[in-house]
């Protein structure tokens, strides 16, 4: 069963064609790393799956449904690029930011106790329980990123989309963040799609790698990706 299926998807910003005829599928429970050069269309692809953009042509489905249906059901958690940096000046506590994620997909309003319980559970998952009442602008960049992951998880998604979740964080913190994503994927079965420039770290946890440059240039397991990267790197930059 596929969680995400893109079929012959094309997208342009005005007269700038960014994706052309992109077709690919991500299996339920998979951890997919999405790599590629700057401006290749990786974030655009993620936004199409998150339902923030609509393809000019082609189709995107999530768990057999339209993206709008999957979004309405709360199936999709999305952590945009630089999100942590953008909320860093927002005068809110960690728990308040995470609780913003509770609205997604829930038809019934949660009681205060239930909401608190879920927020605490999410903060425990990302190892930030002791920070619940701290202002988010007092946290490090890596801690802020983990708050954003907790916020996305609070909607109980089956699919987590992350756009460069470790940009601007140090080596050890990015190792921890990818470890966290790997554990969420392996222990909870959440499908993870992470756009990343940190190929070495993301491929420690990802099962497969997609290389995008306007179209799909490569899709395969990490061992194959490393082999092609070492021996025939040009193959990673040209889609057929
Ligand atoms: N909102 C927008 N309006 C117009 N053009 C855009 C917009 N967002 C992105 N673009 C353009 O679309 C192209 C693809 O951008 P996108 O952000 O998807 O690439 P990317 O692969 O994620 O790049 P990076 O690795 O640098 O983040 C780029 O040429 C970019 O300038």
- The predicted-structure confidence for 190-220, as pLDDT tens digits, reads as follows 999 999 999 889 999 999 999 999 999 999 9
Q: How far apart are CA 65 and CA 68, in angstroms?
A: 8
In this predicted structure, what is the pLDDT of residue 236?
75
Question: Is 169 in contact with 145 (CB distance < 8 Å)?
Answer: yes
For ligand 1, whether the C-beta of 187 sits within 6 Å is no
| Domain-located, residue 237 | yes
CATH number of the domain at 57, please.
3.40.50.300
| Domain-located, residue 80 | no
Q: Which of 156, 182, 205 is the last residue of a domain?
A: 156
For ligand 1, whether the C-beta of 214 sits within 6 Å is no
| Domain-located, residue 172 | yes
For ligand 1, whether the C-beta of 41 sits within 6 Å is yes
Q: Are 135 and 24 in a shared domain?
A: no
Residue 118 has pLDDT above 70, yes or no: yes
| Domain-located, residue 36 | yes
Q: Are 149 and 179 in a shared domain?
A: no
SS3 of residue 53 by DSSP: coil
- Atom 1 (ligand 1) nearest CA: 13
Express each pLDDT in 34-92 by its tens digit: 999 999 999 999 999 999 999 999 999 999 999 999 998 889 999 988 776 677 677 89
Residue 184 has pLDDT above 70, yes or no: yes
Q: Which of 156, 190, 217 is the last residue of a domain?
A: 156
- Atom 2 (ligand 1) nearest CA: 13
Q: How far apart are CA 88 and CA 145, in angstroms?
A: 10
Express each pLDDT in 133-168 by its tens digit: 999 988 888 888 889 989 988 888 999 999 998 887
Q: Are 132 and 91 in a shared domain?
A: yes
Domain that holds residue 135: 85-156
Q: Are 128 and 178 in a shared domain?
A: no
Residue 106 has pLDDT above 70, yes or no: no
Q: Are 162 and 152 in a shared domain?
A: no
| Domain-located, residue 91 | yes
As for the ipTM of the complex, it is 0.98
For ligand 1, whether the C-beta of 18 sits within 6 Å is yes
Domain count, the chain: 2
SS3 of residue 27 by DSSP: strand
With a pLDDT cut of 90, the percent of the chain lying above it is: 58
- pTM comes to 0.91
Question: Is 25 in contact with 5 (CB distance < 8 Å)?
Answer: yes
In this predicted structure, what is the pLDDT of residue 125?
85
């Amino acid at each position: 069963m596929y969680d995400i299926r893109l079929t012959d998807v094309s997208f342009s910003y005005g007269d700038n064609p960014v994706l052309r005829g992109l077709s690919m599928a991500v299996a339920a429970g998979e951890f997919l790393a999405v790599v590629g050069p700057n401006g290749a269309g990786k974030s655009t692809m993620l936004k199409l799956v998150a339902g923030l953009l609509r393809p000019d042509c082609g189709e995107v489905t999530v768990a057999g449904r339209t993206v709008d249906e999957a979004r309405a059901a709360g199936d999709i958690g999305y952590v945009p690029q630089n999100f942590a940096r953008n909320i860093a000046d927002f005068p809110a506590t960690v728990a308040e930011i995470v609780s913003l994620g509770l609205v997604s997909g829930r038809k019934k309003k949660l009681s205060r106790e239930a909401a608190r319980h879920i927020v605490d559970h999410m903060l425990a998952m990302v190892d930030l329980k002791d920070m619940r009442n701290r202002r988010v602008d007092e946290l490090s960049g890596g801690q802020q990123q983990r708050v954003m992951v907790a916020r996305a998880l609070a909607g109980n998604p089956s699919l987590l989309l992350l756009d460069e979740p470790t940009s601007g964080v140090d080596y050890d913190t990015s190792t921890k963040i990818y470890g966290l994503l790997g554990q969420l994927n392996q222990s909870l079965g959440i499908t993870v799609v992470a756009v990343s420039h940190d190929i070495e770290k993301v491929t420690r946890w990802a099962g497969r790698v997609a290389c995008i440059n306007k179209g799909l240039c490569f899709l395969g397991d990490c061992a194959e990706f490393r082999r092609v990267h070492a021996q025939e790197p040009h193959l990673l930059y040209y889609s057929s």
